[in-house]
Chains A and B, each alone.
Chain A
Amino acid sequence: MNEKYLVGVFDDEHTLVDAFEKAIEKGVVIEEVYTPYPIHEILQGMKTRTHITHAAFFYGLLGVILLHGGMYYAAVLSWPMQFGGKPSNTFPSFIVVAIVGTILTITLLTLLTFSVRSKIYPGRKAKIIDIRATDDKFIILLNQDNMGIEKDAIIKLFRSNGASEVYEKDANTTDKQLSNEL
């Protein structure tokens, strides 16, 4: 896996969004954008809509059903509970446990889904394109095999729209030199 990237570095949100929107307009295929915080224009422009919220809703539904079923089984079917003359099926009090249990179910299952979908697991080496993206710089990443338009045109576009730096990079080279400079 030796992909060649083109990296555009921007100093602030406005120049990044400007360049991003102009690039999209010209038909540039953008691989990824790294920003210190989420930006609405980028989220919409990348058209990467997530369905994890829908998944979370159905995990919640599953949690509610399983928890109520489990408590009903434990308190009524398997061993009918006798508490001070109350009926075995103490439904309204199941809800308290179900709320907390549902939150836990949703949290764990969405975390698992997210990890599987984005291939994150404990001990995986992080793929950092530009170490400064973890600090305060805004990075637009292009894959040189599929950029949409000519490389020179893109470099020109980025530079004329306030990119502080545009450089090429192999996926395998480390950032040692750069991080030393910082």
Chain B
Amino acid sequence: MDSTIDKLVVQKNFKYLMYAFIGIGIISLAAGFMLDPDRAWANYLLNNYYFVSLAIGAAFFGAIQYISQSGWSAAFKRIPEAMASYIPVAGVLFLILYFGMHTLFQWSRDGITATDSLLAHKAVYLNIPFFFLRLVLFFGLWIVMIRLLRKISLKEDAEGGMTFFYKSEKYSKILIFIIAVSFTLFAIDMIMSLEPDWFSAIFAAKSFIAAFLHASTVIALIAIILYRLGYFPMLNNSHLHDFSRYIFMLSLVWGYFNFVEFMLIWYGNIPAETVFFVKRSGGAFGALFFVNIALNWLIPFLFLMPRMTSRSKVFLLPVIVLMMIGQYTELYYYIWPAVVHGAKFGILEIGTYLGFLGLFALVVTNTLSKASLVPRNHPYLEESIYHQF
């Protein structure tokens, strides 16, 4: 078989554009660190978390396809694999957070445990060495598992046979348990501990569902873009319907978790919990609360419900773009009031986002171009190509 046709060829212009994006990101971050370090670190954390949650969500998506032995998605499994390959890069970027710890995380400031008895109580868990130990441990586990799955997947391409499928399924089962525990603690570390006095039991589950949801939308987006470029000739309405079902289902779960968190805090009316929403009730954040719900739940709920719209690229694309914005506004809603103490949005935010987007796109396209885009010997490949319902 000719191996040159079915591999993704990354256009030079695209690469240059992505390098330009990274350049913009570096420049705006550098300017940010000089002019407004709080905001720059908040941007750094937000974008890092944004793209690592896409990568983890994609790894989870891929694992679920193996565990449920889904046929329809077999042809597209390189996309989640490629997105997950961003994790090692993200790991390095997360380690740089060490220099911004005091700016971002209240609990890490020197001497705060002497005045704040609650934080002194939590210091056993929330302290800088243990924080980075956890970070290294989580990324280590993720990288090991994802490398392993990728290696099996490439071996399957070369040799064929059922053994690799069963192996992938077995390791996928291990991966989802690892993600369940590690991403829970990771989200608590990175986002919830920004407000160290506040806690919410469903926060981690909500973060995980947001990651899974937005990763599904980005997987669908990449599949559609590659189809437009002529790479996935088999992509038909039924595949799109399955993608949009994932998005629809997960956005319902997201809406449910979001509501449950707010409702219980509102109804219980305990000051330690309501402080989170009181801080975010005025001005731009009050509006952002509803924007979040509209972007992440209401729009996909209404637009992806009818059979006709959930099968058409024309409807799916704008919904995907809006949900990518929704993931940003959700994180903005968590991070900004805790770190920046105001709704500042400008060139710095856009520039940093573009920088990380360029890096993510480069890593993903680079991994996609390294192996045949459609897996060759996946047992469900035929079923996936002729998928129709």
Contact = CB atoms under 8 A, between A and B. Distances in A.
Interface of A: 40, 53, 57, 86, 90, 92-93, 95-96
B263 A96 contact: yes
B389 interface: yes
Contacts of A92: 259, 262-263, 266-267
A92 B265 CA distance: 11
Nearest to B260: A96
B116 to A, nearest CB: 30
Nearest to A43: B389
Nearest to A91: B266
15 contacts: A40-B388, A40-B389, A53-B307, A57-B305, A86-B269, A90-B267, A92-B259, A92-B262, A92-B263, A92-B266, A92-B267, A93-B263, A95-B259, A95-B263, A96-B263
A55 B172 CA distance: 41
Given A86-B269, A90-B267, A93-B263, 12 more contacts: A40-B388, A40-B389, A57-B305, A92-B259, A92-B262, A92-B263, A92-B266, A92-B267, A93-B267, A95-B259, A95-B263, A96-B263
Contacts of B269: 86
Nearest to B266: A92
A99 B389 CA distance: 30
Interface size class of B (residues with CB under 8 A): 10 to 19
Most chain B CB within a 10 A radius of its CB, from A86, A90, A92, A96: A92
Contacts of A57: 305
Contacts of B267: 90, 92-93
B254 to A, nearest CB: 15
Nearest to B262: A92
A96 B263 CA distance: 9
Contacts of B266: 92
A93 B265 CA distance: 11
A57 B309 CA distance: 15
Nearest to B388: A40
Interface in B280-323: 305, 307
Nearest to B238: A40
Nearest to A90: B267
Nearest to B259: A95
B386 to A, nearest CB: 12
A90 B266 CA distance: 10
Contacts of A53: 307
Contacts of B263: 92-93, 95-96
Contacts of A95: 259, 263
A86 B267 CA distance: 9
A93 B269 CA distance: 13
